[in-house]
Amino acid sequence: MAFTIAVAGKGGTGKTTLTGLIIRYLTEKRKGPVLAVDADANSNLNEVLGVSCGSTVGHIREEALETAGSRPHGMSLDEYLDIRIEQSLVEAPGFDLLVMGRPEGPGCYCAANNVIRKYTDYLLDSYPYIVTDNEAGLEHLSRRTASATDLLLVISDPSARGILTTGRVNGIVDELHLDVKRRLLIVNRVPGDTLPPELEGVVEKTGLKLAGTVPVDANITEYDMNAKPLVQLPADSEAVAALYGILDGLEIP
């Protein structure tokens, strides 16, 4: 059974960057491949990981609906989707990547999310670790894309408003009775080594335990400007060192 990690948070907090570095940590520190799942409709985890993205779940599902008559005789939609999605997995050293993407037509992303959830459940015994970069905001939790999760990491920027938003994420997990064993807060892009004192009280209001902080890192800005994969950051880069320290303390099996 895979150990599952879900990463959530509002847009602009560096959620996808930290997700990529978590995947790097697991591939470096642990044994066995990681299944990376980009469940954000605005897919860019592949850029952080330095791999090309082929077909997405959203595209495959729309294609399957449009070409229903051309499927092999006797093959159901679910069977066809299983085959096409398995073919769409991006394979890289240490991890495979599954990308949700956007549907081609109008409407919500519920169907693509359902396929993602079904397929990741199917793969639970095939990978030691599954790491999911969830959509920015709160709606993905209401669609239960973060259910059956061993560790939920909620990412915030170092602002009172951002940290209070993580408290709403925590509340939704309770309201929906999601199967999340641990929920922790990480405050990203902190100007310094520790959280400013005025924000410590705000963290207490969220009901989340603070796992740690990740400082502002000039290397990330430089890599972003030059379109370099963030998983290639130097090992002594401030953000990498801080996040690795946090993960070391979480006793991930």
Residue 104 has pLDDT above 60, yes or no: no
Give the pLDDT score at 148: 75
Amino acid at 116: I
Supply the pTM of this predicted model.
0.87
Residue ranges per structural domain of the chain: 3-248
Running DSSP on this structure, what letter comes out for residue 38? E
As a whole number of angstroms, the distance between CA 19 and CA 95 comes to 13
The residue ranking higher by pLDDT, 83 or 244, is 244
The residue ranking higher by pLDDT, 237 or 2, is 237
Give the pLDDT score at 192: 85
Residue 185 has pLDDT above 60, yes or no: yes
As a whole number of angstroms, the distance between CA 58 and CA 114 comes to 11
As a whole number of angstroms, the distance between CA 170 and CA 191 comes to 25
Q: What is the mean pLDDT of residues 124-148?
A: 70
The residue ranking higher by pLDDT, 220 or 149, is 220
Identify which of 147, 17, 155, 25 has the alpha carbon closest to the alpha carbon of residue 95. 25
Residue 147 has pLDDT above 70, yes or no: no
Can you state the percent helix, strand and coil of the chain, rounding each to 5?
45, 20, 35
Half-sphere exposure of 140 (CA within 13 A, CB side): 26
As a whole number of angstroms, the distance between CA 229 and CA 231 comes to 5
How does residue 68 score in pLDDT terms, banded at 50, 70 and 90? low
Mean pLDDT, the chain, rounded, equals: 84
Instruction: Say which CATH architecture domain 3-248 belongs to.
Output: 3-Layer(aba) Sandwich (3.40)
How does residue 59 score in pLDDT terms, banded at 50, 70 and 90? confident
Give the pLDDT score at 140: 53
Q: 3-state SS string over 162-184?
A: HHHHHHHHHHHHHHCCCCEEEEE
Which pairs with CB-CB distance under 8 Å and at least 24 residues apart come from 227-235? 227/47, 229/20, 229/47, 229/48, 229/49, 229/50, 230/17, 230/20, 230/21, 230/48, 231/20, 231/21, 231/23, 231/24, 231/48, 231/49, 231/50, 232/50, 233/21
Give the pLDDT score at 86: 77
The encoded tokens of residue 248 equal 């070391």
As a whole number of angstroms, the distance between CA 14 and CA 162 comes to 12
Residue 168 has pLDDT above 80, yes or no: yes
Name the range with the highest mean pLDDT among 58-72, 104-118, 176-190, 227-241: 227-241
Give the pLDDT score at 198: 92
Residue 26 has pLDDT above 60, yes or no: yes
Q: What is the mean pLDDT of residues 201-215?
A: 96
